[in-house]
Amino acid sequence: MSARETPVEVPFFDRELETLSRPALQRLQLDRLQALLAEVASSNAFYRRKWREAGAGDVTSMRTLDEFRRLPFTTKRELLQDQLDHPPFGTVLTYPLDRYSRFHMTSGTTGRPLRWLDTPESWQWWIRCWTFVYRAAGVGPQDRVFFAFSFGPFIGFWSAFDAATQLGALALPGGGQDSVLRLRTLRENGATVLVCTPSYALRLAQVAREQGLDPADSPIRVTIHAGEPGASIPGTKRRIEELWGARCFDHCGITEVGATGFECAVQPGGVHINESEFIAEVIDPLTGAPAPDGQGELVLTNLGRWGSPVLRYRTGDLVRLTTAPCACGRTFARLDGGILGRVDDMLIVRGVNVFPSVIEDIVRRHPAVDEFRIEVFKQDELDQIRVLLEIDDARHDAGARDGTVDAVAEGVRTSFGLRVETRAVPAGTLPRFELKARRVVRIEN
């Protein structure tokens, strides 16, 4: 049997839970939702006020998920406004402040940062959600997990770190280190798992090569990516896997929601939503109506974070949700292709919807490109884009450089039917990111 035909071993965190029939899964969601609503309705000031203003009536009498879907959405704008009105922590707090023990903050790349508090019980729930992520990727007590991250107030890596220790793995923090030192730390301590953003996995591999090291020689066998989408983009995933000689797993999570999704060992091209812990809906981002084909904005409700829950939260993420069976045996719905982009990032260029993630996929198929940027500018009142590709002249001659630029331009033309200016820029021109890469940049002219 060739390596390709070898069946993939499919690990689970809780096989029974992850393979429940859909009716049983919905029953479980409803039971947990009813318990959550009872708690929130009695003491969470934000939701009590919100539901009263919406005329929602007695939410504790809800008997079906359809009834639940009549409650109003929660938006990030509301949460930010609540923290402005009730500084510093706002009122999405089900318990008195002294019950809370964890403070985190969003990166604020798209505006003011949002603060978020957790009780010890809510934190334990986060860790539980992360354990699904690890187990699905086959990570266990025998592993040594390296966290290439600065350990600031961003929640993702703290929760991943604590979950690794609870799993019994050896957790290696990479805070306060530059890329060179991180590479040394992960090699000298025999790290088998690398957790970081997809951008940073590429960056770290590039630094390794500059040091004359082949990252594929390291003992890293699995990479798990959080903090930004990308690891579900086929071109990016393949690039990370080739560079590191490892299997690359996507994960999605949101500070104010939780560790929401994970990729299974079958890797069907996307992530499972952990439906034992979250209720997922997809809506038309313009009208708020349910999207019948499962394509649109993802709306999530977390079922186990009672201290600071969000209900029917508009994530701003564009997705394609499917309940088609997955070869891993899980019944949890999947986001086909992972997070496809932000609702705000979708560009309309000459009448064509352009997803930055599709351009990323095209760019990442070309190993000569170290970094890229999509510039958006106005021409005759219409949005136009140009793609900048950072290619190192020291490693690629002019012929290779021009060939890559032409190939990317042709890829964009084939995918979108658009001719887009594509240009090479010198090494070191474009910014590098450890977290929340911003590669779509609006140029004012």
* Residues at the contact surface with Zn ion, assessed by CB under 5 A: 264, 266, 326, 328, 330
Complex with Zn ion: residue 163 or 335, whichever CB lies closer: 335
CB of 203 to Zn ion, least distance (A): 29
Indicate the residue among 174 and 253 with the shorter CB distance to Zn ion: 253
Closest approach, Cβ 29 to Zn ion, in A, equals: 19
For 334, list phi and psi in degrees, rounded to 5. Answer: -120, 150
Nearer to Zn ion, 328 or 363 (CB): 328
Return the bridge partners of 195, or none: 147, 224
Residue 420's CB: how many other CB atoms inside 10 A? 18
How far CA 372 is from CA of 94, 97, 339, 390, 436, in Å, comes to: 44, 44, 19, 6, 14
In the complex, minimum distance from the CB of residue 233 to Zn ion, in angstroms, rounded to a whole number? 18
Helix locations, 277-334, DSSP H = none
Min dist. Cβ of residue 268 to Zn ion (A) = 6
CB of 327 to Zn ion, least distance (A): 7
Rounded to a whole number of angstroms, the minimum distance from the CB of residue 425 to Zn ion is 39
CB of 273 to Zn ion, least distance (A): 11
Q: Distances from the Cα of 7 to the Cαs of 68, 140, 272, in angstroms?
A: 41, 20, 20
135/342 with CB nearer Zn ion: 135
Closest distance of CB 301 from Zn ion, Å: 22
Q: How far is CA 384 from CA 136, 157, 352, 442, in A?
A: 41, 36, 11, 10
Residue 54 contacts by C-beta under 8 Å, 6 or more apart in sequence?
71, 72
Closer residue to Zn ion, CB minimum distance, 326 or 412:
326
Residue with Cβ nearer Zn ion (104 or 334): 334
From CA 108, how far away is CA 265, in angstroms rounded? 33
Distances (CA, A) of 142 to 33, 174, 192: 36, 19, 9
Residue 152 or 325: the one with the smaller Cβ distance to Zn ion is 325
Phi, psi of 196 (to 5 degrees): -170, 180
Q: Pick the closer one to Zn ion by CB: 290 or 325.
A: 325
Q: Is 122 exposed, middle or buried (0-12, 13-18, 19+ CB in 10 A)?
A: buried
CA dihedral 201, 202, 207, 212 (to 10 degrees): 100
Compare residues 104 and 330 and give the one whose CB is closer to Zn ion: 330
CB of 18 to Zn ion, least distance (A): 9
* DSSP label of 74: B
CA distance 146 to 187: 10
Query: φ, ψ for residue 91 (rounded to 5)?
Result: -125, 15
Give Cα separations from 307 to 49, 55, 324, 363 (angstroms): 17, 24, 33, 42
Nearer to Zn ion, 326 or 385 (CB): 326
In the complex, minimum distance from the CB of residue 22 to Zn ion, in angstroms, rounded to a whole number:
15
